[in-house]
Amino acid sequence: MRNVRSIAGDSVNLLLYRALQRCDDAAEESLWRLNPGLAEYGPVLPAGVRVFLPELDSKPIAPKPASAWD
């Protein structure tokens, strides 16, 4: 399990995108499960907070676009 430290002004989405190049719902849900006390910091994290990163596939599976003619 990898961990990173936040930079002042980081949000969870920004931290996920910078570390894993993705910030979709599955990645965010996994991160919150690994870091249960993280929500106590609020929407913007202070500098130096240790955040454990989930181990995920490199890219999420893109959903097939819906068509009106299907």
Q: pLDDT for 4-61, tens place per residue?
A: 999 999 999 999 999 988 888 888 999 999 999 999 999 999 999 999 998 876 665 6
**Cα separation, 65 vs 4, whole angstroms:** 35
Residues in the chain: 70
Do residues 59 and 8 touch, judged by C-beta distance below 8 A? no
pLDDT at 64 over 70: yes
- In angstroms, rounded to a whole number, what is the distance separating the alpha carbons of residues 14 and 66? 29
